[in-house]
Amino acid sequence: MTEEKYNGYDTSIVYDYKDHPDIKSGRCDNCDKAQFKSSVKDFVYIRECRNCGMKKSI
């Protein structure tokens, strides 16, 4: 079993894309995976990484 390496982002808060744009376009800044689940709440689009759970409002 391999241990995942993360970049230390707090996954309990939602980051704003304007303040924290993607380091690599379309990839999670925390774990570098490209699979996301999305949701919309109160007209705000939230993108959540399926691997580590980091969230960004787009």
Global pTM? 0.84
Question: Closest Cα to residue 56, out of 1, 2, 25, 5?
Answer: 25
**Domains contained in the chain, number:** 1
3-state percent breakdown (helix, strand, coil) of the chain, nearest 5: 0, 30, 70
In a domain, 6, yes or no: no
Would you say residue 3 has pLDDT above 80? Answer: no
8 within a domain of the structure (yes/no): no
Confidence of residue 2 (pLDDT cuts 50, 70, 90): low
43 domain residue, yes or no: yes
Give per-residue pLDDT as tens, 17-50: 999 999 999 999 999 999 999 999 889 999 999 9
CA nearest 56: which of 8, 13, 4?
A: 13
Which uninterrupted H or E stretch holds 20? none
The boundaries of the domain holding residue 19 are 14-57
Looking at the domain assignment, is residue 52 inside a domain?
Answer: yes
